[in-house]
Structure 1
Amino acid sequence: MSRQKGDFAEKRAISFLQDRNFEIIEQNFYAKKLGEIDIIAKKDNTYHFCEVKSSDDYETAINNITPSKLSKIKRSIDYYLQIKKLNVAFCIDAIIVTNNEIELLENITL
């Protein structure tokens, strides 16, 4: 997927979260050698570390969340919490963006 399409999907995901009363904390947090967290949001005192995946169809998008990708996200979250000196409740979410729909999958694991 092109960077332009990815950026557009992330903008749609941010609007989606804001419409549901999430506070956007950061976008595209990059942890050296670990990976990137697409969106960090907060709602009801819980931090939501969101991975945005988009495709023409749901199945393709969801299958792009691999065990390896999830492992990188977890390490990036640990790094983020450490450097920000945060001890907070958090979960890992996926936001699946297709042509016609956006779906939030909260607290994902593999």
Structure 2
Amino acid sequence: MSKEKGDFAEKRAISFLEDLNFKIIEKNFYAKKLGEIDIIALKDNIYHFCEVKSASDYETAINNLTSSKLSKIKRSVNYYLQTKKLDVAFCIDAIIVDDKEITLLENITL
């Protein structure tokens, strides 16, 4: 996927979250040598670390969320919490953006 398409999907995801009353804390947080957290949002005193996946259809997008990617996200979240000195409730979510809809999958690491 091109960077432009990825950026557009992230913008759609941010608007979607804002419509659901999430407060956007950060976008594209880069954790040294670990990876990137696409969106960090807050709702009801819970931090949501969101990975955005997009494709023309839901199945293709969700299949891009691999165990390796989840492992990198978990390490990046831990790095973020340590760096910011936060002891907060949080979850890791996926936002699936396809040509027809946007789907929020909360707490995907259970």
Relative to the length of structure 2, the TM-score reads: 0.99
| Aligned ranges 1:1-110 → 2 under 5 Å | 1-109=1-109
Offset at residue 100 of structure 1 (A): 1.3
Rounded to whole Å, the distance in 1 between the matches of 2:27 and 2:8 is 13
What SS does the corresponding residue of 1:16 show, helix, strand or coil? helix
Aligned partner of 2:22: which letter?
F
Rounded to whole Å, the distance in 1 between the matches of 2:109 and 2:41 is 18
Rounded to whole Å, the distance in 1 between the matches of 2:97 and 2:83 is 30
Rounded to whole Å, the distance in 2 between the matches of 1:51 and 1:44 is 19
Aligned partner of 2:47: which letter?
Y
Which runs of 5 or more structure 1 residues have no equivalent in the other structure?
A: none
Rounded to whole Å, the distance in 2 between the matches of 1:7 and 1:27 is 11
Offset at residue 109 of structure 1 (A): 2.0
What SS does the corresponding residue of 1:86 show, helix, strand or coil? coil
Relative to the length of structure 1, the TM-score reads: 0.99
Which runs of 5 or more structure 2 residues have no equivalent in the other structure?
A: none
Aligned partner of 1:77: which letter?
V
Rounded to whole Å, the distance in 1 between the matches of 2:109 and 2:49 is 12
Rounded to whole Å, the distance in 2 between the matches of 1:90 and 1:64 is 23
Q: Percent identity?
A: 82
* Residues 3-34 of structure 1 deviation map (CA, whole Å, 9 limit, x = unaligned): 00000000000000000000000000000100
Offset at residue 93 of structure 1 (A): 0.2
Q: How many residues align?
A: 110
